[in-house]
Amino acid sequence: MTRAVIRPRSAAWWIPLFLFAGISARAEPVTVFAAASLSGALNELWPRERHTDISLSFAGSSLLARQIEAGAPADLYLSASQDWMDYLQVRGHIDSTTRVDLFGNRLVLIAPTDEGFALVASPRADIGGAFKGRLALADPDHVPAGIYARQALQTLGWWPTLVHRLAPASDVRGALAWVERGECDAGIVYATDAASSRRVQVVVSIADSLHTPIRYPAALVAGRATAATRRRLDTLQSAAALAVFRRHGFSILMGTNGE
């Protein structure tokens, strides 16, 4: 009986597989779930045409947190609220060792550029008579920008007057859009959102003392820590990235990592 001899194949057979594996690895993007108010800065930092390895998804922090809880394939989460980051952390959905507070923001009351009105953010102000239509804001029951706005309105004593004139949007950019189009005569948004638009004007800035401090924490989603995802989180803490966010009007809450 003749034994079969198994000879090694040429090394060339595995080269295409190796190349395909490399292509597949590079094609798998880092998926970033980020609060809608971060869209301008993140799109500047990671423009789609130059960063095909990053997938940016913007929405209200609450919706994104619920999606992560439901198993959405996010790698990195940037929230406009400590509460929603806490929500995920206590349920084990983020890697708490990677959590870091990056940015701060402010609230402003806005109006369309050609329909402004005078107002002082004071309990004595006649908010009901200051404008005629509806007040746009992010959903005050779930979305951070709306929750902060409700806190400020309650502190000022304006909530009972305006509660039936609210136009709640799914996120803060939606509220901004309604004021831009003149569908609402006023709105409360982040200062960074107002600064991004030429179609609205700031009527009055809302003091930080009227609401919970606005902080943007970031963290890797649980089980998604890789060299690529850690690198993107590190990038957000680099001097170059923080300069982008500062240019968009965010306050910086931390030092840089030296990149």
- 60-95 pLDDT, tens digit each: 999 999 999 999 999 999 999 999 999 999 999 999
Structure-token match 């980051």, residue found:
85
CATH of the domain at 185: 3.40.190.10
What's 46's DSSP letter?
A: S
Q: What is the pLDDT of residue 198?
A: 96
Same domain, 187 and 128: yes
Q: Is residue 257 part of a domain?
A: no
**pTM beyond 0.95:** no
Same domain, 118 and 245: no
Beta strands per DSSP E along the chain: 30-35, 54-59, 76-78, 100-104, 107-112, 135-138, 166-169, 186-190, 200-206, 215-220, 251-252
Q: Is residue 136 part of a domain?
A: yes
Q: What's the domain count of the chain? A: 2
Q: Pick out the chain residues at pLDDT < 50.
A: 1-25, 258-259
Q: What is the pLDDT of residue 165?
A: 98
Domain residues for the domain of 237 are 14-104+215-252
Q: What is the pLDDT of residue 5?
A: 42
